[in-house]
Amino acid sequence: MNSNFTGSLMLISLHGYVAGSPELGKPDTGGQVVFVMELAKRFARLGYNVDVLTRQFEDQPAEDRINDNLRVWRIPFGGPDFIRKEDMHDWYGDFVSNALAAIRRQGLSYDVVNSHYWDAGVSGQKIAEELQIPHIHTPHSLGWWKAKDMKSLDEGESANYRFKERIQTEYVLYRSCDHIIATSEQQATMIEEQYELPSHHITMIPPGIDEQRFTAVTPQQLEEVRQRLKMTENDVYVVGRSATNKGYDLIIQALPHLRQLQPDARLVLAAGANSEDDETLIDSWKAEAAELGVADNIDWRGYVADEDLADYYRAPGIFALPSRYEPFGMTAVEAMACGTPTVLTTRGGLFEQVDFGRHALAADPTRPQEFAAMVNMPMQHDRLRERLSVEGARFARRHFGWTGIARRTLEIFESFKGRYQAAF
From start to end of 127-234, where are the E strands?
Answer: 135-138, 179-182, 202-204
Quick one: pLDDT at residue 153?
47
Q: What is the pLDDT of residue 407?
A: 93
User: What pLDDT does 21 receive?
Assistant: 80
Domains 8-208+402-423 and 219-399 share a fold: yes
CB 61 within 8 A of CB 43: no
Q: What is the pLDDT of residue 372?
A: 98
> What was the pLDDT predicted at 334?
94
Those residues with Cβ within 8 angstroms of residue 79's Cβ, 6 or more apart along the chain or in another chain: 57
| Residues in contact with 104: Cβ distance below 8 Å, sequence separation at least 6, in sequence order | none
Q: Is 230 exposed, middle or buried (0-12, 13-18, 19+ CB in 10 A)?
A: exposed
Closest C-alpha to 234, from 268, 191, 257? 268
In which order are the strands placed within the sheet that holds 179-182?
Answer: 63-67, 70-76, 49-56, 8-12, 112-116, 135-138, 179-182, 202-204
Question: In sequence order, which residues have a C-beta less than 8 Å from that of residue 318 and are 6 or more positions away?
Answer: 235, 236, 237, 340, 341, 342, 343, 375, 378, 379
Q: What is the pLDDT of residue 113?
A: 98
pLDDT of residue 243: 82
Structure confidence at residue 84 (pLDDT): 85
Q: What's the pLDDT tens digit per position in 121-148?
A: 999 999 999 999 999 999 988 888 777 7
CATH of 219-399, one of 3.40.50.10310, 3.40.50.2000, 3.40.50.2300, 3.30.930.10: 3.40.50.2000
Contact assessment for residue 378 and residue 361, using Cβ atoms and an 8 Å cutoff: yes
Q: Where are the domains of the chain?
A: 8-208+402-423, 219-399
In this prediction, residue 386 carries a pLDDT of: 97
Nearest in space to 242 (alpha carbons), one of 51, 29, 18, 85: 29
With a cut of 70, list the residues of the chain below it in pLDDT: 1-6, 149-160, 327, 422-424
Beta-ladder partners of 11 = 52, 114
8-208+402-423 homologous superfamily: Glycogen Phosphorylase B; (3.40.50.2000)
